[in-house]
Structure 1
């Protein structure tokens, strides 16, 4: 056994400047693509009720000016928002146009409350999709904000037997998620969407029949939303640095999700990222659950086709192939899968292929003789193959553990690798920071697996003939 504590990996910002924290880096140096004039102004469309459109616009207009940080002794964790303006921070600004505002009548949304949850989600998606179709014909729109319905009965209660209320309630029927279904429908349009709950811009709002939601502080909400908008409009908030001696690497996440008709077959999805954080989505072939280990696996031919397609999309996007491919997979590797992945790499003349398996659970935990959990970046190697990495934990830069619950480490197994465990752990730690939906530096999963899971939630609502969008921005 061996214990190693990795340094926090830096990120790259404007002019090649580096910082370990996204918010500090953007405030001090600007985004990685600060010279990209195409994202200096972001033209925003909005779909929602008239009051939601007005409220959301008012809040975003206030975000043009600096927002003070939360009053706290943790000054590095709670960072002021510099304002979304061309002279500071992201060096960009939002532009409104009444032609890009598509109101939905309140009474049409009110009717949803009388429907069964499944029917309500379907009807709500149809209302919003109709307005997205109109917006898609309008020139000059970069990203669309969706003011989510406030009274959508999305989750039914468990079913209680009226004749025997003391018995354990039967689980409710599964209900499609509004976010996932709308994003699947929006694949047919050319602009990515950003779904926003009213509580984001109106902290006094209490959902009907619910408790007041627990919100992040105002500056943090502004940071997270504007980072996502900037990326979806085509900007690059930050990158992973790449040394001149590093091989040009690409990372492929492979996970599995149940098809929309809830059949027993699982379908694989792969998603490709390069060291710059550019994401490309690829849908794979059906998979089967093995009787041997109860995990989903691909056939040799399907594994070959999946990696071949992923590399083809990578080459189309970046005009070249990588020298090294690292596969992150949520099930173990069968000999057939290994042979298929190897053959695809050989066909493309890839120098190095490394295979990592990420089990869902691992019983190993570390305890630190202090008031806080183990440090983020702690690598515990059980043997040459089995490793556990704390991607969440105490962060010295923040001076605290910024989570709410006991952190769960990320287990990984080295199946076929050429790199050292420490090098692979450094990469995983860096890839946890490539999530543009949040700006805190301590994500748990590498962006490959996190996005592959999100992609699966959306792709399950597409038919076999539907063509998914290739950009990561459509799924986040």
Structure 2
């Protein structure tokens, strides 16, 4: 048994400058791709009620100017927003056009409150799809803001079995507005950003919002929303630094999801990410749950095909092959899977293939003297192959723990590896920061598996006649 502390990984910004905090890096240096386009004009479409379109636009206009940080003694945790303007921060601006605004009648939205949750959600999606269809015919739009209905009677608090997260949650509504709308909108050419009214209107009490969303201050809300918009419009807010002497690495996440009727279990998708954070989505085929360990597994041929297709898509997107692939999988590996992935690596002439299993939970916990949880970056090795990593915990640079609940560690097990466990853990820690919906250091799962969960939830609603979009921006 060995305890190790891993320092917070740096991120890379404009000019190769580095900082461990995304907000400091954007404010001090600018986004990583600022040299490619010094002024980025993001043309925004909006769909929602007339009142919500107006309220959202007024708040986004306010965000062009700096917003003060929350009044708190935690001055290193709560940071001001620099304003979304071409002269500071993201070096970009949002542009609105009345042709790209599609209002939905208030009385149509009010009728939703009189219906059962499943029917209301389906009808709400149809209302928005009708306007998105018209908006898709308009040129000159980069991303579409969806002002979510204020009082949609939607069940969202489903209980998930942590030991078998691929199973459909028992209390889940079969319809979920976000997932269903994004699935149906795969046919359109622009990614969506769904926004609740509580984001721009602090007086609105959102009945479906959780505690973490309600407690966010205005500057933090502005940071998270504008980072997502910048990425969805094609920007690169930050990237992982790369040692020139190191192999070019790509990270693949493999998870599983049930079809909407619950009849079939599919391989989720391989999410292929490079160190820039570019994500490519690959959908796999059906799988079966093993009678031996009650986990889903691929056949050897399916494993070979999945990784081969992932590498082909990677090369098509980036015009080169990686030298090293690190595969993160949510279920254990069978010998057939190991052989299949190895065959694909050999066929592609990969220098290094590393296989990691990330179980959903681990019974071991660490405790620290005092009131704060273990430091983010604390790693406990229980054996040569079994490890746990605190990706959520007290953050020294903040001087506090940014979460609300007792953090659980991220377990990982090395199946096939050439790198040290500490190197693999440092990469996992860095990959938790490649989340463009969140700018604070409190993400638990690496972007590979976080995306697997998001993509699986959306793909289970995607009709067979709609080809899934390959960019991660359509799923986040």
Normalising by the residue count of structure 1, what TM-score does the alignment of the two structures yield?
0.95
Q: Secondary structure at the match of 1:97?
A: strand
> What is the distance in 1 between the residues matched to 2:157 and 2:366?
38
Aligned match of 1:56: 56
Q: Distance in 2 between matches of 1:208 and 1:279?
A: 33
Alignment partner, residue 165 of structure 2: none
Q: Equivalents in 2 of 1:208, 1:412: separation in Å?
A: 36
Q: CA RMSD in A?
A: 1.7
Determine if the alignment matches structure 1 residue 104 to structure 2 residue 104: yes
Q: CA, structure 1 residues 347+200, in 2 after alignment: closer, same or farther (shift >3 Å)?
A: same
Give the 3-state SS of the residue equivalent to 2:214 in structure 1.
Answer: coil
CA contact (8 A) 2:323 2:351 kept: yes
Equivalence for 2:120? 120
1-side partners of 2:128 and 2:269: how far apart?
A: 27
Give the corresponding residue for 1:140. Answer: 140
Q: Which residue of 1 aligns with 2:291?
A: 291
Partner of 1:429: 429
Unaligned runs of 5+ in 1: 159-170
CA distance in 1, matches of 2:84, 2:115: 40
Per-residue deviation, 1:419: 0.5
CA distance in 2, matches of 1:14, 1:366: 38
* Correspondence for 2:82: 82
- The answer (yes or no) to whether the contact 2:147–2:195 under 8 Å persists in 1 is yes
> For the Cα contact (< 8 Å) 1:280–1:314, is it kept in 2?
yes
Alignment-derived partner of residue 168 in structure 1: none
Q: Tell me which residue corresponds to 2:184.
A: 185
Aligned-pair CA distance for 1:395: 0.7
Change (3 A) 1:120 1:90: same
Worse-superposed segment, 439-448 or 58-67: 439-448
- Given the superposition, is the C-alpha separation of residues 362 and 12 from structure 1 closer, same or farther in structure 2, using an over 3 Å criterion? same
Q: Is the 8 A contact 2:389 2:425 kept in 1?
A: yes
Partners in 2 of 1:377 and 1:156 — Cα distance? Answer: 31
Deviation at 1:267, TM superposition (A): 3.4
> Counterparts of 1:377-416 in structure 2 under 5 Å?
377-416=377-416
In the superposition, relative to structure 1, how do residues 20 and 351 fare at CA in structure 2: closer, same or farther (>3 Å)?
same
> Match for residue 195 of structure 1?
194
The residue number in structure 2 matching 1:20 is 20
Alpha-carbon shift at residue 432 of structure 1 (Å): 0.5
Q: Is the partner of 1:107 in helix, strand or coil?
A: helix
Aligned counterparts of 2:225 and 2:209: Cα–Cα separation in 1 = 24
Question: In the alignment, which residue of structure 2 is the partner of 1:346?
Answer: 346
Rounded Cα–Cα distance in structure 2 between residues aligned with 1:347 and 1:209: 49
Is the Cα–Cα contact under 8 Å of residues 268 and 455 in structure 2 kept in the other structure?
Answer: no
1:389 CA drift (Å)? 0.4
In 1, Cα distance between the equivalents of 2:196 and 2:353? Answer: 42
Kept in 2: contact 1:42–1:233 (CA 8 A): yes
Q: Is residue 307 from structure 1 mapped to residue 294 from structure 2 by the alignment? A: no
Query: Cα distance 1:352–1:46, how it changes in 2: closer, same or farther (>3 A)?
Result: same
Cα distance in structure 2, aligned partners of 1:135 and 1:219: 30
Cα deviation digits, residues 412-454 of structure 1 (max 9, x gap): 0000111000100110010000000010023110000001110
The answer to whether 1:254 aligns with 2:257 is no
Tell me the TM-score normalised to structure 2 length. Answer: 0.95
How many Å apart are 1:3 and its aligned residue?
0.7
Between the aligned partners of 1:246 and 1:440, the Cα distance in structure 2 is: 28
| Partner SS for 1:98 | strand
SS at match of 2:75: coil
Whole-angstrom CA distance in 2 between matches of 1:52 and 1:238:
31
**CA distance in structure 1 between the partners assigned to 2:283 and 2:7 by the alignment:** 35
Q: Does 1:228 align with 2:228?
A: yes
Q: What is the match of residue 240 of structure 1?
A: 240
Change in CA separation of 1:316 and 1:156 when aligned onto 2, cut-off 3 Å: closer
Q: Deviations over 1:369-405 (max 9, x none)?
A: 2321111101100110000001011111001111111
1:35 deviates by 2.0
